[in-house]
Structure 1
Amino acid sequence: MRDGSDKDVGHIVGIWIRVSTEDQAQGESPEHHLERAKMYAAARGWIVGTVYDLSGVSGKSVVEHGEAQRMMEDVKSGRIRGLIFSKLARLARNTRELLDFAEYFDRYGADLVSLYEAIDTSTPSGRLFYTMIAAMAQWEREEIADRVAASVPIRAKLGKNTGGPASFGYDWIDGKLEPHPEEAPVRKLIYELYLEHRRKKTVAQLLNEQGFRTRTGAKFSDTTIDRLLRDPTAKGEHRANYTTQRPHKTNGKTWAYKPRDEWVIQKVEPVVSASLWAECNAILEAQSARRNVGPKGKYLFAGKTICACGGKMYVKTGTHKFACGKCRNKMPVDDLEAVFRDEMKRFFWSEEDLSAFLANADQEIVDHSNQIETLKAEKAQLKVECDRIYRDYMDETMSREAFGELYTEKKSRMKEIDTAIPQIMGKIDALKVSRLSSEEVISGARDLYGRWDDLTFEDKVSIIEAIVEKIEIGERDIELSLHYVPSRELADERQQEVTDSSRQ
């Protein structure tokens, strides 16, 4: 079973360099941050495609800066799939700007990596950042929406426009909805044609053939005809404050009806009789009832299952089996779920192995941190020695040749240390993110295995969406690819390192 841990290998990322005066006072130069970010990218197997240099930029907002605009265009076009930066405060200097950046990256499927906060949104633990950002942004939008929504019923009851253009066949004149002299006859014709032919596509075709067009100049379609037929404005009842937007897991958002007691009905001049409107809508409802004969089947792993031959696998109505459209390979739905559970149980190994795996990661962080402290101490000692050498030279107790040789040697070593420290820090950043992500995924997956039978269908689908990249079904075997979980081979390798170390 693969773990999908190499899915990001080869992804092209950018590095964002913005260093404050405080950072530079602490010895963290733009070069320091660049080296640290490069090492993190190397640890993840990413390719650094470009560097956005804002090291000399100050002020509260950076979004209008040329480098920021270039970065956003690269994200939108897919030239980079992620951005590495030193800390959140260096990406944006206010909450609103941070929200905008995070939403922008999430929209285009790109990742944000903040080394200081150990946030990497390509990992499960890092994706919590997007969840928090989304919650904050949603709260802000809802605050604005609530203020706007509070004014809508009042405007509607006063007969004023609550937003949006007038329905086809009508126009807003001096704040009131009035029949449009050119469109109203066409709106009436739509009902008459539909009552005669009882086909929305036929009505659209006849209107288009006669040269009629929508308000935007487009041809009429069956969906436009359906919307206009159902709108009660034509019979003299204009609805306002009757819909709202709600989140939708596929489309992002969708429109839904509010409770009827919140609707505001405005009386307007009709363009068709109430009886004609009712007849047409009765036909529409009858046709809809015949089409919607029953709910479509829902299955776990839908969209995740592929055949070993490369074809996608679907569940045909009434079969309860995933089938390949190319080679006819099949797998019963229930059997696939049972295999998934067994693989999950086998994958998340013993408590002893897991503890060793995570402890080894912790030890690596400690070892690298100790290396940095050792290098810092060496650099401090080198500075003392450089000062002493310089004093001896100025006191004429050391020759020019000896001074040049010794001073150059010390300075060269200090430069090597300045390069090594950010590289080691990059390794620590990668280990911290990996440690957090591994622990969260393993803990959560082991917990869900124990509660699998008690989960709802929707919960199971959410979990599969989060951790399963794909399922490849062959004639004799099944291969699962999971998101961001350390492979068994890697765990075995690290466990062996721990074992070997304990024997020494």
Structure 2
Amino acid sequence: MIYTKPRGLIYILRQDYYIRPPGKTQYRVFLYLFLGGTDMKHVGLYIRVSTEEQTENYSIPEQRERLENFCKAKDWLVVDEYIDGGYSGAKLDRPAVQKMITDAGTGTIDTVLVWKLDRLSRSQKDMLYLIEDVFIPNSVDFVSLNESLDTGTAFGRAMIGILSAFAQLEREQIKERTMMGRIARAKSGLVMGPTAPYGYRYVDGQLIVDEYEASIVREIYDLYLQGYGMEKVSNMLYEKMQLTSASGYAAVRRILSRPTYAGLVHYSGEVYPGQHEKIIDVDMWKRVQEKREHSRNYQRGKRQKHLLTGMIYCKRCGAKYAYHVHSGNNYYDRYMCYSVCRSRKELIKDPHCDNTKYLAAELEQLIIAQIKELALDESKFNKVIQKRIEAPDPTQAMQKQIKEIDKQINNFMDLYQYGKVPVETINERIEKLTQEKSAIEKSIRELNIKPIPKREDYEPTLSRVDSIFETGSADEQRAAVRNLIDHIDIDGENVVIHWVFE
């Protein structure tokens, strides 16, 4: 005997189940006794149709009829129907699907039957979630008529493994295509992201400069190159940028780090020329990045209370110099190698180091005098950068290779015009040459050749040296030092300043 209708039977079964929980085992025992010992599957029919699919083959009555006929042929008991009318199969946030998931967990059903796989879900990811994370853990079989898929059989379970493999392959391919699309977009000079960076507006999909915000961006770069820290800059431009106290520092840091303002596009570690108008020149952007890399950021500078802390290195053992406070008179405060003072064991490089200790006031005045001399004597600045000017260009040989590759590509294009070489051969050779050229260009970018500095780049600080060290605050003095000096080496009586523009 096959019990699929009337609904009264289902109601009686449900009523007994809910009166006498708990769950699956007792429910099955009741059905088994009620049906005279027949071992039936307890099936939930899932039926879905979207608004656009209201055709004869996809209609709810048509799906129900086919599923019920299959249950009769298999001697299965239909316990419930889960019908989502007018819902898309793209997502699982459908009321009938959610009820079916709940019933699968409570043991109300032990089989889910659908007409086609896409009735349950059009997403492989969601389909596998239902089968592997909902049905299988709750001992619920899944059957699809159209695809002859039954997870209750060995073949059906094997098919799930194949579906999982194809789903993983599809995810990897989507990821790869997305990555390739983004790289192609970056190479074409288009900026990523739905929101335009500060200083720009999107107009018809193109980045257009917002003149008011662009003037603030330029001011941020100018102030930072003058030696002001990011937090100080954000405080100075607080009202202009309409910042909140929480976003000021982060906004300035984001602006200073973005190559977009120099007319460049950055993606996946590579930088490409952009199609948009630049707000600052490339040299200014590079100088800011150098300053961010070599100088100490604001937070670290805030912890350093003294003028030269964090900047002095022992030439003998390689350790940093510490500021050692004298307990009685601060005149006797000293800068000394960490290996000598041994105040922090983790910073000791050589416990036998005997490098010279310097009175803090004397060493600081020595460094300030060198900075003032640099500000007054332009020839000293020129002498420092002359080494950079005379140094051989490490990219010269690579630039020569690029010119040779361009010449070969042009030759192949001429052969194509004359029809002397098959097109396939030409395309293959040109593609290979293009790959070689891209690899060389990447190597040049990785060398990160710094532009030759100009004195006017540091003029905002050099022109204010006297006033900074006579009446300026401690923060302003530290900022000026870090804007001009990369680090200081000490070897006995020899104190060597390494300028940031060397």
TM-score under structure 2 normalisation? 0.33
**Which protein has the larger Cα radius of gyration, Structure 1 or Structure 2?**
2
TM-score under structure 1 normalisation? 0.33
Whose relative contact order is higher, 1 or 2, with alpha carbons under 8 Å and at least 6 apart?
A: 1
